[in-house]
Structure 1
Amino acid sequence: MTVASALKPAAKIDFDGPYALTINGRMVETNKSFDVLNPATNAVFAKAPEGTAEHMEAAIAAAKAAFPKWAALSWDERGALVEAYADALEAHKEELITLLTMEQGKPRHSMAKGEVEAAIFWVREVAKRRLPIEMLEDTADHVVEVHHTPLGVVGAITPWNFPVLLGLWKVAPCLVTGNTMVMKPSPYTPLCTLRFGEIAQTVFPAGVFSVVSGGNDLGQQLTEHADIAKISFTGSTATGKRVMASGAGTLKRVTLELGGNDAAIVLADADWEPLIPTLFWAAFGNSGQWCIASKRLYVHRDIHAAFVEAFVAFGRQQTVGDGMDPNTDLGPIQNRMQYDKLKDLFADTKAQGYKVPLGGTIDESLAGNFVPVTIVDNPPEDSRIVQEEPFGPILPIIAFDTVDEVVEKANATIYGLAGSVWGRDREAAIAVAKRLETGTVWVNEIHIHGIDIPFGGHKQSGMGVENGHEGLAEFTNTKTLMFHK
């Protein structure tokens, strides 16, 4: 199969709807649909197709049937098609940005634009990556080689906070390594995924990539199915445990990118004033709805009071509103379930009498899921706001006295996704970073990612990695080939 023969004529894609499943290269309508709400208004703005068990079965069967021919293509042939997919996504970039804001809520001009552009870049760059054959031994009479072979059909389950980026993070490495994929998006944010599934049908052979939207029962079907070789899941730790348990019956490979309660540590010698905007957005970007947000900010006691004052002053300047408004800095909480969880956490913070120098009160009269930027000043270590992952725009800023103390507190969590350390003495900051029990630690920077940089969690923040050589290899089996000359 050549790249040219696989490409299909581009069809007009109407981002206003209607929406359909993509199965075996075709758009598939369903008898039932479900509402998709704009979180800035809680008004229904679209209907998404509600797939059934039969639809999921058909998508898995199509992916299984397509796998042998797809896996038989060369790396370069698959890479060319994945790169063509990036071009096709690029042609619809503006529509995807708008649709992402409508269904997710994040500001169109900043977070939504950045997410879609980063996702397309990721697809294009991953298309160029390869896993070469490793020669372990080559003597006069014996050869040992290590090959990376595709697994088969991969099931992907994507979250509602970054549905485009975290979806395409899975698609590109899965397909370039020779697997086929069935993706189930979050029912809160299915539309962008349905559209980039539709776009995929103009590029890939039938069955290589299908998208089936619907309820949580479809996710369970995907994780339990005997013909699914691997599950790639991004979401909460609680759901990740269920995914792992469901896949155990067939010993599925799993990559789980789960929750976090990331600590940012500002040391006594930090030049902290210029860091206020950086640390603010590290915590409050996407309205705090990301796994790697700084969710606990530890500041040395010598600078804590002045730091909190400056941090609060910066926070007061930010506008919470509709993501389609160019003046909006932070959008709404994506769904009512998460909004209600935050209401409960805010109520606990108030009931405990913690000092709240900014925010703290949710205006429930507003139609949208709007939550104010909230700072909690020096709550106790055993408080809910410190121990739990809020997944919203609320941040505790906690004073500490010694490095040993702050390291112990930062590590005293079931999570281990990421963290950051800030200080003038670079070597001292690195020494602290090495003691943190997390998959990623940034020193005097934060939220730097790269195609070739592995990303994954320790402890209950996940299993396996995404990105880098290691992330690409997770979509393959290691096969050792040895023979006598």
Structure 2
Amino acid sequence: MNNNALIHSLPVQPRHFDMFIDGQWTQGSATRSVTRRSPAHDVPVSVYPSGSGVDVDQAVVAARQAFEQSTWARGSGEARSTVLLKTAELIRQHCEELALCETLETGKPIAQSRGEVLASAGIWEYAAGQARALHGDAFNNLGEDMLGLVTREPVGVVGLITPWNFPFFILAERLPFILASGCTVVVKPSELTSGTTLILAGLLQQAGLPDGVVNVLTGPGSVVGQAISEHADIDMVSFTGSTEVGRLTLAAAAGNMKKTGLELGGKNPQVVFADADLDAAADAIVFGICFNAGQCCVSGSRLLVHRSVEQRLTAKILELLARVRIGDPLDEATQVGSITELRQMERILGYVSQGRSEGAQLMTGGYRIESPQGMYLQPAVFSQVTPQMTLAREEIFGPVLTITAFDDFDQAMQIANDTPFGLAASVWSRDLNTSLRAMRQIKAGRVWVNTTIAGGPELPSGGFKQSGIGRETGRYGVEEYTEVKSVHLQLGERARWVQD
């Protein structure tokens, strides 16, 4: 554990939050509150009202009125862009407040939180440009008597349900694009990490966002999230979380057949060929499995390595892991902080135990680090993992790396795709042909070549198979929240069907 002096101090009292509905701060229908304790320090840091379906109804009414009656949907892309750019500016100004709240609620290192907040501001800036770039098509090839137009119109009221692992960054990958399209929103952040979303609501108001365009509710997903997914006056729901809950969201959305966008689980391969730069691969693999304590949907948790370099690469990974700084997330030097909640810690340790019982070899880690407070886990590395083992098939959502050897390209691709998920993958090879062949054959929404967990908002994100439906970020991220309308314009007289 790293014991360098802390830059930030713990709050003396928890911060009390209200929900944000129709431009007003309110406790809504809540008769009780929920206190969030810092997972790293076991002190109360945030208090939220526990909302209900009544609050969902009120928020949806506000969002519907804002969509139908305000100028947000009918106004210019330039006007929406101005608000998004101002929001980005305010995010940068409030970076430290947002980062501290994020760290206190999630347990992630303060340096990581700060980086995510600043990167989020960049996403808002990018989305502001997309608000002005959104357009349809014209068809001038239908003959001299017909002009065809294709317009993109905002889908309407969107229910946005976000997770606890990257509460501010994942919000930034969705909300500004939803707003850029002209939609209005009802947001339900995780009950564990609602603080930064509520702070953002205040910044949006400062930026000039009309009342009712964004509404933020707090409370349990089983109540508030379910009510959003089922609501008949919500036109689309965007959910990020587990595949299991994603299935429930799909079922709930069937009532009014609302459009859905889902980013769900992953079991992402890191495929390392014999000619790869092993030093670069080892560092990226360690980063990928340790980033956010492995609580990352695109974490490269399955290492598939050519048998001829398996031992060399494993040794490099173990040596690097031993140097990773795990400790208090308020320490600027910390690289890996606390697991976000006890239930998740127990889930991870359960998988470690199951892996050992199934015959995988635990090379290092896989235990809880003793500390006065917090839930710190020593990253685990398992070798001799077969594709049929539970470790290799189910999403663990923690710092657990499995190593499986392959003998040739075809076997590597077969193992990489032998999963119900298809969220992300990384390919490591100095050979362009090998890299391109692998990139084409791997079934995943994002593929990194000679890097991992990299890139910006210009490219889309999303999953194949049970990893999700739809795409976020890039121009696709705005188009996702639109409906396409075809318009046929008759020029001159239409030929008569009924003859004189």
Q: Shorter-chain TM-score: which interval?
A: over 0.9
Are the equivalent residues in 1 in contact too, given 2:38–2:45 (CA < 8 A)? Answer: yes
The amino acid of 2:125's aligned partner reads: R
Are the equivalent residues in 1 in contact too, given 2:14–2:45 (CA < 8 A)? Answer: no
Matched residue, 1:133: 136
Are the equivalent residues in 2 in contact too, given 1:263–1:410 (CA < 8 A)? Answer: yes
TM-score, structure 1 as length reference: 0.94
The 5 Å alignment of 1:391-430 reads 391-430=397-436
Matched residue, 1:224: 230
| From 230, 236, 239, the counterpart of 2:242 | 236
1:147 Cα deviation from its structure 2 partner: 0.4
Are the equivalent residues in 1 in contact too, given 2:349–2:366 (CA < 8 A)? Answer: no
**Partner Cα separation in structure 1 for residue 172 and residue 150 of structure 2:** 28
1:35 Cα deviation from its structure 2 partner: 1.3
The amino acid of 1:390's aligned partner reads: I
1:432 Cα deviation from its structure 2 partner: 1.6
1:363 Cα deviation from its structure 2 partner: 4.1
Change (3 A) 1:365 1:93: closer
| From 140, 147, 152, the counterpart of 2:151 | 147
| From 181, 205, 212, the counterpart of 1:207 | 212
Secondary structure, counterpart of 2:414 in structure 1 = helix
Are the equivalent residues in 2 in contact too, given 1:194–1:213 (CA < 8 A)? Answer: no
Matched residue, 2:450: 444
The amino acid of 2:145's aligned partner reads: D
**Partner Cα separation in structure 1 for residue 301 and residue 360 of structure 2:** 17
Matched residue, 2:3: none
Deviations along 1:230-263, whole A, 9 cap, x unmatched? 0011100000110011001101011100000000
TM-score, structure 2 as length reference: 0.91
Matched residue, 2:125: 124
1:310 Cα deviation from its structure 2 partner: 1.1
Matched residue, 1:338: 344
Matched residue, 2:8: none
1:198 Cα deviation from its structure 2 partner: 2.2
Change (3 A) 1:49 1:446: same
Matched residue, 1:59: 59
Secondary structure, counterpart of 1:71 in structure 2 = coil
Secondary structure, counterpart of 1:398 in structure 2 = strand
Identity %: 33
**Partner Cα separation in structure 2 for residue 48 and residue 442 of structure 1:** 39
Matched residue, 1:114: 115
1:365 Cα deviation from its structure 2 partner: 6.7
- Structure 2 gaps of 5+ residues are 1-12, 492-500
**Partner Cα separation in structure 2 for residue 167 and residue 340 of structure 1:** 27
**Partner Cα separation in structure 2 for residue 306 and residue 175 of structure 1:** 49
The 5 Å alignment of 1:248-327 reads 248-327=254-333
Are the equivalent residues in 1 in contact too, given 2:21–2:59 (CA < 8 A)? Answer: yes
Matched residue, 2:41: 41
Are the equivalent residues in 1 in contact too, given 2:84–2:124 (CA < 8 A)? Answer: yes
**Partner Cα separation in structure 2 for residue 298 and residue 253 of structure 1:** 36
Are the equivalent residues in 2 in contact too, given 1:298–1:400 (CA < 8 A)? Answer: yes
Matched residue, 1:11: none
Matched residue, 2:10: none
Secondary structure, counterpart of 1:389 in structure 2 = coil
Are the equivalent residues in 1 in contact too, given 2:185–2:214 (CA < 8 A)? Answer: yes
**Partner Cα separation in structure 1 for residue 304 and residue 462 of structure 2:** 23
Matched residue, 2:469: 463
Aligned length: 471
**Partner Cα separation in structure 2 for residue 446 and residue 350 of structure 1:** 28
Deviations along 1:148-177, whole A, 9 cap, x unmatched? 001111000000010001112221011111
1:16 Cα deviation from its structure 2 partner: 5.9
**Partner Cα separation in structure 1 for residue 90 and residue 334 of structure 2:** 30
Q: Which moved more, 1:260-269 or 1:323-332?
A: 323-332
Matched residue, 1:6: none
**Partner Cα separation in structure 2 for residue 416 and residue 134 of structure 1:** 32
The amino acid of 1:297's aligned partner reads: L
**Partner Cα separation in structure 1 for residue 94 and residue 443 of structure 2:** 41
**Partner Cα separation in structure 2 for residue 45 and residue 89 of structure 1:** 21
**Partner Cα separation in structure 2 for residue 386 and residue 152 of structure 1:** 40
Q: Which moved more, 1:355-364 or 1:407-416?
A: 355-364
**Partner Cα separation in structure 2 for residue 353 and residue 227 of structure 1:** 51
1:366 Cα deviation from its structure 2 partner: 5.2
The 5 Å alignment of 1:64-103 reads 64-68=64-68, 69=70, 70-103=72-105
Deviations along 1:19-65, whole A, 9 cap, x unmatched? 11000001112442101121113332221121122222111110111
Deviations along 1:6-27, whole A, 9 cap, x unmatched? xxxxxxxxx9622110000011
Matched residue, 1:177: 181
**Partner Cα separation in structure 1 for residue 226 and residue 279 of structure 2:** 48
Are the equivalent residues in 1 in contact too, given 2:140–2:148 (CA < 8 A)? Answer: yes
1:364 Cα deviation from its structure 2 partner: 6.5
2:354 is aligned with 1:348: yes
2:204 is aligned with 1:195: no
The amino acid of 1:123's aligned partner reads: W
1:114 Cα deviation from its structure 2 partner: 1.4
Are the equivalent residues in 1 in contact too, given 2:281–2:450 (CA < 8 A)? Answer: no
**Partner Cα separation in structure 2 for residue 365 and residue 82 of structure 1:** 43
Are the equivalent residues in 2 in contact too, given 1:42–1:369 (CA < 8 A)? Answer: no
**Partner Cα separation in structure 2 for residue 463 and residue 453 of structure 1:** 16
The amino acid of 1:194's aligned partner reads: L
